[in-house]
A = this chain, B = another copy of it.
Amino acid sequence: MIFMKKVLVKEIYDGFEATDTIISLSGWVRTVRRSKEVGFIELNDGSCLKNLQIVISAEDENFNSITTGSAIKAEGCIIKSNREQGYELQAERLIIEGLADSGYPISKKRHSFEYLRTIAHLRCRTNTFSTIFRLRSLLTFAVHEYLNKNGFVYIATPCITSSDCEGAGETFKITTLDFNNIPKKQDGSVDYSKDFFGKESYMTVSGQLNLEPFCAAFGKVYTFGPSFRAENSNTTRHSAEFWQVEPEMAFMELPDIMSVIEDMTKYLINYLLEHGRNELEFCDTFIENGLIAKLENTVSVNFASVTYTEALDILQKSGENFEMPVKYGSFHTEWEKYLAEKVYKKPVFVTDYPKEAKSFYMRLNDDGKTVSATDLMFPGLGEIVGASAREERLDVLLERLNECGLDPEAYWWYLDLRKYGTFRHGGFGMGIERMMRYVTGMENIRDVIPFPRTPKNAEF
């Protein structure tokens, strides 16, 4: 038996030396068509977005049985072709790995995203979703690369937690109790001592609190993994399981943190412009016209910055008729979008929010009213990053816990960090799905997550 080289489609387009050596290629059939004497197959092997054309005798028996979606192996020579792509495989032999049943639910016509969500296990074989998830992979790697290059130590913070830490209450419980027979204490309350962890346990909404102790050991740390929020919202922006990257930095104040956010954001986008060019071009053509120009603009401008109070003033004076009337104390997605899209026409940091609108751990400003926190707003999208300096002063932190109605006892170890060598620090959380929506133009969070989890939906 002669050794036959297995080749990937990507290797061919990356510059394959066309010879008369026989090679083999395996992949899935995207389309099949025939002329009188010759059969054509568009084969995709997943190594890159592009297909390779396979040419074979129209009389080949296997050729005549294959259908869209089938897995095949083709053996033959790579030759230069006149087609745009430049190469094709002149096949001598087709081997069928697995045929696709006639019921194969993906056809040549364009399917709606709604429909494709119902076949999330197959939608990744379409051009659109193979583009999206290839970009998500690149984005993930770029995050790790940026942070490693810049001296951040990765910490695998736990997903299981025994404190509902932000006090938001929208957490999932995790349990091994039998729902048919919930153990009760004498007073009739649930006996959590019988549960796996011996107490009420939840899925984390953020790794930040668990990350801070490591910040005191390594200076610069990050966590990057899934977070969970039991928010009963069926919107294009919410998902019960989502990923965020959360860096945390010692001896830094808010302006330093904002510099890192801007630098990292631009690094990620530049990484995609360089390594995901074909995929972004696909998105530009089929999902959001002007996407690449938008991204190139994002990396070239200086991000704007405005305080919350100034921003409210701008919004109030704008004459715009907002659905939510502009009022001190909160911030709404429509205001966020307006500010980034209409006022600044570029990413903008809104800083120094009223403390009532933010979490207990954010550092109180000297005015006693606002906190040293910022949200980064992107045009067309709204908030994409949330950041703050953390309250490092023990007495102030205790007062804030108290104001927020949280029990200091539950935060004993978090408070310890303020007793033993407390230090100025802060960090941010960047939602990967939001970033994905910005860099691809996809509108719905369900279309940038492999298998999205939303209210009443954990299929697949």
Contacting pair A420 B160 (CB below 8 A): no
Known contacts A450-B210, A458-B199; A125 and B162 CB within 8 A of each other: no
Partner of A457, one of B197, B203, B220, B414: B197
In the assembled complex, A76 has its CB within 8 A of some CB on chain B: no
Interface string of A17-31 (1 = CB under 8 A from B): 000000000111100
When the two chains form their complex, are residues B219 and A46 in contact, meaning their CB atoms are under 8 A apart?
A: yes
User: In the bound complex, what is the Cα–Cα distance between A146 and B45 (angstroms)?
Assistant: 20
Q: Does A97 contact B (CB under 8 A)?
A: yes
Interface size class of A (residues with CB under 8 A): 35 or more
Known: A122-B420, A133-B153, A450-B210. A219 touches B160 (CB 8 A): no
Q: Does residue A176 face the partner (Cβ distance < 8 Å to B)?
A: yes
A104 and B220 alpha carbons, distance in the complex (Å): 22
B162–A458 contact, CB under 8 A? yes
Given contacts A121-B416, A451-B210, contact A160 B46 (CB under 8 A): no
Nearest CB in chain B to that of A73: its residue: B251
Determine which of B134, B232, B420 lies in contact with A196 in the assembled complex, contact meaning CB atoms within 8 Å: B232
Q: Known contacts A100-B420, A218-B46, A456-B198; decide if A136 and B154 are in contact (CB<8 Å).
A: yes
Q: Indicate whether A243 reaches chain B with its CB closer than 8 angstroms.
A: yes
In the complex, which of the residues B158, B230, B417, B455 contacts A241, with contact meaning CB atoms closer than 8 Å?
A: B158
Q: Which chain B residues lie closer than 8 Å to A422 at the CB level? A: 71, 97-98
Q: CB within 8 A of A100: which of B69, B182, B421?
A: B421
In the docked arrangement, what's the CA distance between A140 and B46, Å?
A: 25
Q: Which residues of B contact A219 (CB under 8 A)?
A: 8, 27, 45-47
Query: A148 in the interface, Cβ–Cβ < 8 Å?
Result: yes
What does the 1/0 interface line of A131-143 toward B look like (CB < 8 Å)? 0011011001100
- A159 CB–B CB distance under 8 Å: yes
Q: What is the copy number of this chain in the assembly?
A: 2
Residues of B with C-beta under 8 A to A189 = 180
Which residue of B125, B153, B419 contacts A217 across the interface (Cβ within 8 Å)? Answer: B125
Docked Cα-Cα span, A26 to B198, in Å, equals: 40
Are A418 and B98 interface neighbours, CB within 8 A?
yes
1/0 per residue, CB under 8 A from B, across A172-198: the answer is: 111111011010000001100000111
Taking the complex as formed, is A328 at the interface, i.e. its CB lies under 8 A from any CB of chain B?
no
Asked if A103 lies at the interface with its beta carbon under 8 angstroms from chain B, I say yes
Q: Does A164 contact B (CB under 8 A)?
A: no
Q: A160-B240, A450-B214 are in contact. Are A251 and B26 (CB under 8 A)?
A: yes
One of B45, B133, B180, B196 near A214 (C-beta < 8 A): B133
Given A45-B250, A98-B423, A159-B226, 6 additional A-B pairs, CB 8 A: A27-B219, A101-B420, A136-B154, A155-B450, A173-B179, A198-B455
- 9 nearest A-B residue pairs (beta carbon): A98-B422, A46-B219, A46-B218, A124-B217, A198-B456, A71-B423, A197-B458, A121-B213, A71-B421
